[in-house]
């Protein structure tokens, strides 16, 4: 018997700079909804770095999905893309302005990794909740963004107006 139900949110998008900021706001709002405010900074930094890697390196296209799941006190954030090439953790010279994304993810997370997927790969990281998070609301329906969908209360109308191109697959 599971004493705490799983909480899950998935978003599909094109990993373009404007979409990365939108996903950061979605992740932040979802973690606030789950009462995991203490994990927002690390989760948004990690998802930003992983999406930036998709934007810079993924081929043949920038289509990807972001999933966050909270289960048994552990938040798992994963980014799935269509490029089968695995990323490499490397030490960038001090003079370079890029190349530290995975090192940042490794530094802020409990663990991280990459696994092959039938259409590419999944890069993931985990964060442990400092304390037991508040229980999920009694009703955790799946929600969708877009026409006719109810947005999160934390996301203002002007932010929703720019959300074209980001589609929430499931939120609970």
Give me the helices (H) in 34-147, please.
Answer: 40-57, 101-108
CATH number reported for the structural domain that contains residue 96 in this entry: 3.30.565.10
123-161: burial string, b at 16+ Cβ within 10 Å, e else: bbbbbebeeebeebeeeeeebebeeeeebbeebeeebee
> How much is the average pLDDT of 59-79?
93
Q: Evaluate whether residue 1 is within a structural domain.
A: no
Q: Evaluate whether residue 2 is within a structural domain.
A: no
Give me the helices (H) in 10-156, please.
Answer: 17-33, 40-57, 101-108
Could you report the per-residue pLDDT of 112-122, keeping only the tens digit for each? 999 999 989 99
Query: Residue 37 pLDDT > 70, yes or no?
Result: yes
Q: Report the C-alpha gap between 95 and 98 in whole angstroms.
A: 9
Q: Report the C-alpha gap between 60 and 116 in whole angstroms.
A: 16
The domain of 153 spans 7-171
> How much is the average pLDDT of 27-54?
95
**Residue 51, Ramachandran bin (φ over 0: left; ψ between -120 and 50: alpha; else beta):** alpha
Looking at the structure of the chain, the number of domains it has is 1
Could you report the per-residue pLDDT of 144-170, keeping only the tens digit for each? 444 444 443 333 333 444 444 555 555
Task: Give residue for tokens 């995975």.
Answer: 102
pTM of the model: 0.72
Q: Are 77 and 66 in contact (CB under 8 A)?
A: yes
Q: Report the C-alpha gap between 28 and 20 in whole angstroms.
A: 12
Q: Evaluate whether residue 75 is within a structural domain.
A: yes
> In terms of C-beta density within 10 A (0-12 exposed, 13-18 middle, 19 or more buried), how is residue 96 classed?
exposed
Q: Report the C-alpha gap between 101 and 50 in whole angstroms.
A: 7
With cut-offs at 50, 70 and 90, classify the pLDDT of residue 14.
very high
């Amino acid at each position: 018997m599971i004493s705490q139900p799983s909480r899950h949110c998935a978003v599909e998008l094109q990993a373009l700079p404007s979409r990365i900021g939108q996903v950061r706001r979605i992740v932040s709002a979802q973690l606030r909804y789950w009462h995991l405010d203490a994990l927002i900074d690390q989760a948004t930094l990690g998802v930003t770095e992983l999406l930036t890697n998709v934007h810079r390196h993924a081929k043949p296209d920038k289509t990807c999905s972001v999933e966050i799941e909270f289960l048994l006190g552990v938040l798992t954030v994963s980014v799935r893309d269509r490029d089968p090439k695995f990323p490499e953790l490397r030490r960038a010279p001090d003079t370079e302005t890029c190349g530290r994304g995975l090192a940042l993810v490794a530094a802020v997370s409990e663990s991280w990794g990459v696994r092959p997927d039938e259409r590419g790969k999944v890069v993931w990281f985990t964060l442990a909740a400092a304390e037991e998070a508040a229980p999920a609301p009694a009703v955790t329906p799946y929600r969708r963004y877009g026409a006719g969908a109810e947005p999160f209360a934390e996301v203002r109308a002007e932010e929703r107006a720019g959300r074209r191109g980001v589609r929430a697959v499931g939120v609970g």
